[in-house]
A = this chain, B = another copy of it.
Amino acid sequence: MRRRDFFKSAAAGAVATSSLAAPAIAQSMPEVKWRLSSAFPKSLDILYGTGETLARHVAEATDGRFQIQSFAAGEIVGTMQALDAISNGTVEMTHTSSYYYTGKSPVFALITSVPFGMNARQQNAWMNQGGGIDMCNKFLANYNVYALPGGHTGTQMGGWFRKEINTVDDLRGLKFRVAGMAGQILSTLGVVPQQLAPGDIYPALERGSIDAVEFSGPYDDEKLGFQKVAPYYYYPGFWEGGPTTHFMFNLQKWNELPKHYRAALRDAAAFANTDMTAKYDTRNPMALRKLISAGAQLRPFKPEIMEASFKAANSFYEDLCTKDASFKAMWESYSAFRDEEYLWFQVAEFSYDNFMIRMMRTRS
């Protein structure tokens, strides 16, 4: 009997006895040990910590019998290798941003965030109730992977710029460290996207061999000190309106789990998903204060730049839909859902926030 068949029959047996008053049988709580290879270094403590939150909650809900050991990026496999490692079962699971794998298919970008996508709450709605996560998993099955949402950062910042950017012309030739689909779209406006390892960014900005860098939001950015060499801190990061990280599992390993362990994992993921966003929302305000004290100068992207980028993004998606049927299918669901969400959010949610922000400004 293969290992997966054993687990399947054990799980089936457990289900069959669960309606009886007899004591739980031993097989219903088998010991399982998994490894989680995070896509994030320990220095990004909220992102990295989300994998640890999941592991702790799963252990707690299974009386310590399902143990997941968490490793930082590179400890067992690197960020860019994690998908393959999950896919071939070398490691059972990862916590990652799917868009790291945009090179394999543009659908991987859509699973995390694309320019002018949904905000965090809308992403939850699409994933949970708009068919999003099922659509993602249908696609990910091609890679032998199963996924659950694993936390949002909220709308990110637009990054750090050495000079002010006032017109679309100012984007021409701008050497901007920005990855994936955002880089592809901005390049149609003249931006020259750069790929640099994290440790190389600061010196490159300092000597001017790059002009700008996008990273994350205040809490993560504050550790990096970019304000000293690129003080203009632009917002919003319109390519990451509500990025969703995911827990990704080897599909066979997921299916082999007893049904109630899958349920424990699913609900632990739901806790971690909310908790990660709560951590960012709690720590970003103070980090933003510190950054401003340290010399960061907040700048909104000019409407001209936002509008040109929006137009460029829509052309890019239209073009991509003619070339990639998988992207087209998911984009149609995603963008239709987004349009409906903003139709409603503009009424109650947005007018409420708008008023509250205005009141906070008059008081401060």
In the complex, identify which listed stretch (A94-102, A174-182, A348-356) lies at the interface while the others stay far away: A348-356
Q: Is the beta-carbon distance between A125 and B281 smaller than 8 angstroms?
A: yes
Q: Judge if A122 is at the interface, Cβ distance under 8 Å.
A: yes
Which of these, B119, B156, B275, B359, contacts A129 with CB under 8 Å? B275
Residues A91-130 near B (CB distance < 8 A): 116, 119-122, 124-130
Judged by DSSP, the binding face of A is helix
- With A60-B263, A259-B60, A264-B267 in contact, do A128 and B352 touch (Cβ < 8 Å)? no
B28 touches A349 (CB 8 A): no
In the complex formed, the residue of B with least CB distance to A24 is: B29
Which residues of B sit under 8 angstroms from A156, Cβ to Cβ? 348
Q: Which residue of the partner chain, among B19, B267, B341, contacts A281 with CB atoms under 8 Å?
A: B341
A235 to B342 alpha-carbon distance, docked (Å): 15
Check A61 for interface membership: any CB of B closer than 8 A. Answer: yes
Among A285, A361, A364, max chain B CB count under 10 A is at: A285
Known: A260-B61, A264-B264, A267-B264. A348 touches B217 (CB 8 A): yes
Contact A344/B57 with A23-B29, A241-B352, A267-B270 known, Cβ cut-off 8 Å: no
Digitize A278-300: 1 where CB-to-B-CB distance is under 8 Å, 0 elsewhere: 11011011101100000000101
Question: Which of A62-70, A164-172, A248-256, A315-323 is found at the contact surface with chain B?
Answer: A62-70
The answer to whether residues A357 and B340 also contact, given A129-B282, A351-B300 and a CB cut-off of 8 A, is: no
CB pair A121–B357 under 8 Å, yes or no, is no
B contact residues around A197 at 8 Å (CB):
none
Please indicate the chain B residues that have their CB under 8 angstroms from the CB of A140 in the complex: none
Are B356 and A116 closer than 8 Å at their CB atoms?
yes
In the bound assembly, the distance between CA atoms of A360 and B350 in angstroms comes to: 14
* Contact yes or no, A351 B267, CB < 8 A: no
A217 to B264, CA, bound (A): 32
